Amino acid sequence: MAPRKKWSDRSKRSRTLIVATGVVEVVLLVATLIDIKRRPADQIEGSKRMWTALAFVNFAGPIAYFAFGRRQKPGFRPD
Task: Quick: pLDDT tens for 25-35.
Answer: 999 999 999 99
Enumerate residues 6+ apart whose C-beta is below 8 A from 58: 25
Average pLDDT over residues 48-66: 95
Task: Looking at 1-79, list the stretches that DSSP marks H as alpha helix, in order from N- to C-terminal side.
Answer: 12-38, 48-54, 60-64
The predicted structure's pLDDT at residue 77: 53
| Backbone phi and psi for residue 44, each to the nearest 5 degrees, phi listed first | -120, 130
Average pLDDT over residues 18-26: 96
Average pLDDT over residues 2-22: 92
Average pLDDT over residues 2-9: 86
The predicted structure's pLDDT at residue 54: 96
